[in-house]
């Protein structure tokens, strides 16, 4: 972003104005590690004679440590435990909330969906989302705010209650001017952001060959004061499924996605080992594809297609199970798509007797 990132200090006056206009409870969802913003919240509560209840074990732990080490100065008379806060008049109460891992979105979303363990919306509630929207959570934040507003809550968010923790263009230039690095490795953010960082570094005199734009797994090797690109290492998402770690790959995910979208069709047929004729079936079983009682004609025709494919293949002395299954799968796939515009996963099962 061009320009300079505003100072956190400007938020204090804005919080005071917001607290002054609040008629009911003030509920602030915040990053648990944003110590300066937490201090501003307590200062506003003290100034406007509001008691404070803290929601979130991670947040409680951060506040306790920061207070003990002298980074937070909290008037003890304004703190309430949760039980006492329930008896406090709404116009005298403020609640500071954060998720189990310190995020501000979870408590706000849970409050909007009526699944918060401790909180329920009340008349005249004021919700403050004291965090930035990022490309990864923008939709979720917007949806949560919409749901809260549709239920009558007043929600304050954006530049009135938060400034970015990321430096803008002039801040990055100042950092480069003060540190004068030999090498620059932009990290975090989208590629266009790292590219912009590269251009800023080069404009400040860093050699183009000394700026590294890295992808996941890329390695920069430092040796004797010099840096160079090296080999890549395996990197990326590691999926945990039940007791398995890393054993679910793209093919399994693709199959699960297909099952969730268009369902599955299982075709069971029994062939004679010697006669090579159909002894039983075909029987078609569906799950998540169509409602059987309303699709009898569709499935009857599918039965005929399977029978014809098998009869034709056996007449031509094609007895390899893989060829028979492939023929069934291809024929049914075309038929179902023509009739329903859906592509269920088709699993042929052939038995010999």
In 3D space, the residue among 56, 152, 39 whose CA is nearest the CA of residue 95 turns out to be 56
Tens-place pLDDT, residues 256-294: 777 777 788 888 888 776 766 777 778 888 877 777 777
Q: Are residues 156 and 176 in the same domain?
A: no
Q: Would you say residue 49 lies in a domain? A: yes
Q: Are residues 140 and 280 in the same domain?
A: no
DSSP state for residue 72 in the 8-state scheme: -
Cβ atoms of 278 and 271 within 8 Å: the answer is yes
Cβ atoms of 67 and 108 within 8 Å: the answer is no
Report the pLDDT value the prediction gives residue 64, as an integer from 0 to 100: 92
Q: Are residues 131 and 207 in the same domain?
A: no
Domain boundary (160, 186, 211) is at: 160
In 3D space, the residue among 167, 204, 209 whose CA is nearest the CA of residue 188 turns out to be 167
Report the pLDDT value the prediction gives residue 66, as an integer from 0 to 100: 93
Average pLDDT over residues 221-228: 87
Residue 219 Ramachandran class (φ > 0 left, ψ -120 to 50 alpha, else beta) = beta
We report the CATH number of the domain holding residue 298 as 3.10.20.580
Q: Are residues 46 and 180 in the same domain?
A: no
Q: Would you say residue 283 lies in a domain? A: yes
Q: Are residues 222 and 84 in the same domain?
A: no
Backbone phi and psi for residue 200, each to the nearest 5 degrees, phi listed first: -65, -45
In this structure, the number of other CB atoms found within 10 A of the CB of residue 2 comes to: 7
Tens-place pLDDT, residues 142-182: 999 999 999 888 888 887 787 777 788 888 899 899 999 99
Cβ atoms of 79 and 12 within 8 Å: the answer is no
Confidence of residue 249 (pLDDT cuts 50, 70, 90): low
Q: Would you say residue 2 lies in a domain? A: no
Average pLDDT over residues 219-227: 87
Q: Would you say residue 113 lies in a domain? A: yes
Q: Are residues 182 and 292 in the same domain?
A: no
Q: Are residues 104 and 142 in the same domain?
A: yes
Q: How far apart are CA 99 and CA 29, in angstroms?
A: 9
Q: How far apart are CA 80 and CA 178, in angstroms?
A: 45
Q: Are residues 214 and 254 in the same domain?
A: no
Domain count, the chain: 3
β-bridge mates for residue 184, sequence order: 211
pLDDT at position 65 over 90: yes
Angle, alpha carbons 3-7-8 (nearest 5°): 140
Report the pLDDT value the prediction gives residue 272, as an integer from 0 to 100: 72
Tens-place pLDDT, residues 106-124: 889 988 888 888 888 888 8
pLDDT at position 128 over 80: yes
pLDDT at position 318 over 70: no
Report the pLDDT value the prediction gives residue 247, as an integer from 0 to 100: 62
Q: Are residues 224 and 253 in the same domain?
A: no
Strand order in the sheet with 345-352: 278-287, 264-271, 345-352
Angle, alpha carbons 59-61-62 (nearest 5°): 65
Q: Are residues 262 and 305 in the same domain?
A: yes
Q: Are residues 91 and 196 in the same domain?
A: no
Cβ atoms of 129 and 34 within 8 Å: the answer is no
185: containing domain: 169-230
We report the CATH number of the domain holding residue 50 as 3.40.50.10710
Q: How high does pLDDT run on average in the chain? A: 83
In 3D space, the residue among 335, 276, 274 whose CA is nearest the CA of residue 303 turns out to be 335
Q: How far apart are CA 319 and CA 34, in angstroms?
A: 69
Q: Are residues 96 and 194 in the same domain?
A: no
Contacts of 275 (CB under 8 A, 6+ apart): none
């Amino acid at each position: 972003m061009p320009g300079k990132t505003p100072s956190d200090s400007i938020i204090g006056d804005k919080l005071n104005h917001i607290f002054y206009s609040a008629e009911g409870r003030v509920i602030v969802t915040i990053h648990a590690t944003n110590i300066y913003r937490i201090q501003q919240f307590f200062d506003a509560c003290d100034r406007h004679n509001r008691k404070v209840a803290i929601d979130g074990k991670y947040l409680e732990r951060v506040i306790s440590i920061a207070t003990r080490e002298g980074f937070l100065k909290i008037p003890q008379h304004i703190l309430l435990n949760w039980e006492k806060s329930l008896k406090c008049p709404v116009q005298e109460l403020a609640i500071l909330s954060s998720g189990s891992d310190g995020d501000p979105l979870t408590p706000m979303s849970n409050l909007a969906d009526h699944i918060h363990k401790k909180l329920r919306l009340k008349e005249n509630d004021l919700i403050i989302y004291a965090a930035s929207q990022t490309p990864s959570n923008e939709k979720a934040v917007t949806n949560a705010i919409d749901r809260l507003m549709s239920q009558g809550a007043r929600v304050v968010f954006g530049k009135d209650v938060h400034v970015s923790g990321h430096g803008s263009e002039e801040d990055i230039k100042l950092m480069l001017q003060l540190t004068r690095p030999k090498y620059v490795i932009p990290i975090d953010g989208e590629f266009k952001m790292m590219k912009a960082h590269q251009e800023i570094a080069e404009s400040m005199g860093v050699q183009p060959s000394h700026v590294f734009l890295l992808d996941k797994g890329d390695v920069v090797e430092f040796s004797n004061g010099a840096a160079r690109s090296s080999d890549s290492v395996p990197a990326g998402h590691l999926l945990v499924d039940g007791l398995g770690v890393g054993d679910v790959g793209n093919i399994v995910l693709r199959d699960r996605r297909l099952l969730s979208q268009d369902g599955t069709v299982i075709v069971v047929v029994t062939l004679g080992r010697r006669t090579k004729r159909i002894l039983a079936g075909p029987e078609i079983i569906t799950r998540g594809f169509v409602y059987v009682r309303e699709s009898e004609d569709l499935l009857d025709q599918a039965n005929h297609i399977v029978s014809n494919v098998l009869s034709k293949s056996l007449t031509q002395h094609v007895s390899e199970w893989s060829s028979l299954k492939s023929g069934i799968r291809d024929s049914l796939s075309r038929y179902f798509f023509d009739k329903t515009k859906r592509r269920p996963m088709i699993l042929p099962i052939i038995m010999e007797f």
